[in-house]
Amino acid sequence: MAPSAIEVAFSEKVSPEVQKEKLSTPATGEKESYFPTKPLGLPHPEYTTPKGVSPLISVPSAGLQYPNYTPFKLPDLVEHLFTDKAIGSDPKKAALLGAATEVKHLTPAIGTELVGLQLKDLSNVQKDELARLVAERGVVFLRDQDLDVYDQVEFGAYFGELHIHQMAGIIPDIPWVHPIHKDETATQGRSHQIWHSDVTYEIQPPGLTLLRMDKLPKAGPDGYETGGDTIWASGYGIYESLSPTLRKILETLEAKHSGLEQAEKALRTSGCLRRNPIETIHPVVRTHPVTGWKTLFVNENFTKEIVGLEKRFSDALLDSLNRTIAEAYEYQVRWKWTENAVAIWDNRATFHTGIFDYFPHLRHGLRVAPQAEKPYFDPNSKLRKDDKPN
Ligand SMILES: [Fe+2]
């Protein structure tokens, strides 16, 4: 009997160690490797994701639960040096945009689709310009990407230290990959639909974040492939829409972002918590280090209180800001995924929410998230709308 696709893939597999070794010793003309070093104590040491195969197929084929919640202990994250690759890149982004066959700005405020590019073929100059485009436009989309999970890790790690989630399921041998996975086993509810930026309780939350969707729900009438769109909203746009008086107040404030609730939920449901959960104080308004623009930095998932305010005033202000984010239609873009489409967003300057309208169908994607700088506010930074070229 002819081997199945998965059997062929397993027989041709390249272990991450071999791949890392191969990539980390570049000969002339070869690309430098950014593949990270694996943390100690990963579960299932016998398992290796085959090159070119989606973990959605390979992990269950190896007899393991997918996504895998087996706990392994990770040390607390500590502050580390981060320099945004986009700083110093060409403001015109000529190498990147010149190579695209089409550049579609999907709304005035947020979202650009690039056509005719493969992420894995970009030069470092083009990657740096892509990071600038993401910083400016909030989220950049590309369809039909030939990018397997190793390519994705390699691509993400170029921009910074990849975040490993404190509790979410992981691919057992590639822990920097966060599976976005729902099927008929999903718990009904709307918690996952809350507008948020990812893991803002971390000391250095992710900046540029890359999600590739490889399985889309057939949730329409007669099994039509539809459902599971994602919406992003611009933090720059929402912030500049507020009154000058309110902005002046917000710029003096800090807020507590907490990972405790998420950690408690994890212990209650999957029993998997890899790090000691933390709470971190961040400015309510932060400055983006590449654009120099001010952006609103609170979200309903993780921002629990405004520092120094009585609870009722803190709750009222956060409720008002969260409602403003959710209702800011003119600063939103809604993306309809296609197989192997990629979204790259700037988690510092956007909010997002996945639309869970496809139960009980399967939707699957893989996310990598390089950590960025510790959020800061520069009082000399500008509103995007005031940053006109001289
Ligand atoms: Fe998210």
Alpha-carbon gap, residue 289 to 228, rounded angstroms: 32
Of 24, 377, 375, 346, the residue nearest 159 (C-alpha): 346
**Catalytic residue among 196, 286, 288, 361, which?**
196
Question: What three-state secondary structure class fits 127?
Answer: helix
Distance 352 CA to ligand 1 centre (A): 6
Pairing of strands 112-115, 139-142: parallel
What pLDDT is attached to residue 161?
97
161 and 36 Cβ atoms separated by less than 8 Å: yes
- Backbone phi, psi, residue 10, to 5°: -65, -40
CATH numbers and ranges of domains, the chain: 66-386 (3.60.130.10)
**Catalytic residue among 148, 173, 198, 214, which?**
198
Distance 211 CA to ligand 1 centre (A): 10
Distance 226 CA to ligand 1 centre (A): 20
Condensed to tens digits (0 to 9), the pLDDT of residues 79-89 reads 999 999 999 99
Q: What's 106's DSSP letter?
A: -
Distance 359 CA to ligand 1 centre (A): 18
Alpha-carbon gap, residue 122 to 119, rounded angstroms: 5
| Residues with CB in 5 Å of ion ligand 1 | 198
**Catalytic residue among 348, 361, 363, 367, which?**
367
The answer to pTM > 0.85 is yes
What pLDDT is attached to residue 19?
40
Q: Find the angle CA(110)-CA(283)-CA(167) to the nearest 5 degrees.
A: 80
Residue bearing tokens 């939707």 = 363
Instruction: Take residue 332 and report the two structure tokens written for it.
Output: 């939103």
What pLDDT is attached to residue 154?
97
Distance 7 CA to ligand 1 centre (A): 33
Active site annotation includes 198 = yes
Low-confidence ranges of the chain (pLDDT < 50): 1-28
374 and 252 Cβ atoms separated by less than 8 Å: no
Furthest-apart CA atoms within the chain: distance in Å: 73
Distance 191 CA to ligand 1 centre (A): 11
What pLDDT is attached to residue 283?
99
Distance 266 CA to ligand 1 centre (A): 16
Instruction: Take residue 226 and report the two structure tokens written for it.
Output: 């539809």
Active site annotation includes 282 = no
Active site annotation includes 196 = yes
**Catalytic residue among 165, 286, 352, 363, which?**
352
What pLDDT is attached to residue 2?
38
Distance 104 CA to ligand 1 centre (A): 24
Alpha-carbon gap, residue 149 to 14, rounded angstroms: 12
Distance 342 CA to ligand 1 centre (A): 14
Distance 362 CA to ligand 1 centre (A): 18
What pLDDT is attached to residue 219?
95
Residue bearing tokens 């909010």 = 351
Distance 192 CA to ligand 1 centre (A): 8
What pLDDT is attached to residue 185?
86
Alpha-carbon gap, residue 39 to 47, rounded angstroms: 15
Active site annotation includes 257 = no
